[in-house]
Amino acid sequence: MIKQLSQRLLGPVTLILLALTLWLGLWVTPSFKVQGNLARLVYVHPAVAWVAIYVSFGTATIASALYLWRRTRSMLVDRIAHCAMEVSVVFIILTLITGSIWGRPAWGVWWAWDARLTSTAVLGVFALAYLALRRANDDPELRARRSAVLALLAAVNVPIIQFSVQWWKTLHQGATVFSTDHGLKIHGLQAWTLLISFLGFTMLYFWLLRARYRLEVLRDERYRASLEEALVQRRREGVR
């Protein structure tokens, strides 16, 4: 019952949190000292990036690792990995778009070959490569195994993105929320709005993942039905 309730509430709660983010971010919170209203993108871009790189890609990576380990191998974890990676592509694209919108006035260019931007774009290409690999293989087990390996290889990129602003001189700013001594860099209503945005976009991710997963389950059911049909047809060949 709790599961059903939480599933029913997921959509409305997500919408409420995102609406709150929008209202607080655009109208209620004060503008920023240096970048003015442009910096209101802080209530979207970091949250979207967080979901893209850690939540969504992280889910796909963990599910892939679980698939490769015999004890936890199942088509369920493969489905989760696939769906999470698809949602990851969407969020990575949103990260790059919101980042570009922010970067154009701040840096004067839509795109720079900056370490963080480049490594994030590379992650996006990995995610697309994952989907291409899945389409190239019809056999479910073969497809699951190969894409799981690719997801693990791609995950190597995540720490590179995380530490890119420290390892290289980059245009991209450093940590948005925490300073190097783990103190908060953002306070008051702005901090709360940022927190709500992170929650909202994370819930959005789970909402999209659930919807995508249900579609995948239906697809698998249709595949199983077609297999049954194919078996019957095949056996009839033997009878004739």
Partner 1 sequence: MIRVALLVAAKDLRIERRSRVLLWQVLPFGVMALVLCGLALGPQHAGHSSAGPGLFYLVMLLVALLMINRSQSIENSPGTKASVATLGLDPAGVFLGKALALMVELWLMGVVLLAGSVLLLHTALGGTLSALPSVLVTLAALAAAGALYGALSGGGQGPATLLPVLSFPAFAPLLIAGERSFSAALHGGSLWQWWLISLVALAAYVGLGILLYGVLEES
Partner 2 sequence: MGSSSPVVALRDAVVLLSGFPLLSGVNLELEPGSLSVVTGANGAGKTSLLRLLGGLVTLSSGSGVVSGIDLRTGDLRELRRRVGWLGHEGSFYDDLSTHENLVFAAKALERPIIEIPSVLERVGLAGRAATPARKLSAGQRRRLGLAWLLLRRPEIWLLDEPYASLDDEGRTFFDQLVGDVVSAGATVVLTAHDPLRSSALAPRTLTLAGGLIVEDRS
Per CB under 8 A, contacts with partner 2 among 214-233 are 223, 226-227, 230-231
141/221 with CB nearer partner 1 = 141
Number of residues that bind partner 2 (CB under 8 A): 15
Residue 152's binding partner, choosing from partner 2, partner 1, none, with beta-carbon cut-off 5 to 8 A by kind? partner 1
Q: What is the smallest separation between the CB atom of 239 and partner 1, expressed in angstroms?
A: 30
146/210 with CB nearer partner 1 = 146
Q: What is the smallest separation between the CB atom of 133 and partner 1, expressed in angstroms?
A: 6
3/240 with CB nearer partner 2 = 240
Angle formed by the axes of helices 57-68 and 157-167, to 10°?
140
Distance separating alpha carbons of residues 61 and 155, to the nearest angstrom: 7
Using rule CB under 8 A, residue 234 touches partner 2: yes
- CB neighbours of 125 closer than 8 A, spacing ≥ 6? none
Residue 122's binding partner, choosing from partner 1, partner 2, none, with beta-carbon cut-off 5 to 8 A by kind? partner 1
Using rule CB under 8 A, residue 138 touches partner 2: yes
Residue 237's binding partner, choosing from partner 1, partner 2, none, with beta-carbon cut-off 5 to 8 A by kind? partner 2
Using rule CB under 8 A, residue 112 touches partner 1: no
Q: What is the smallest separation between the CB atom of 160 and partner 1, expressed in angstroms?
A: 7
Q: Which of 42, 66, 77, 150 binds partner 1 (CB under 8 A)?
A: 150
Binding residues for partner 2, per CB under 8 A?
A: 138-139, 141, 223, 226-227, 230-231, 234-240
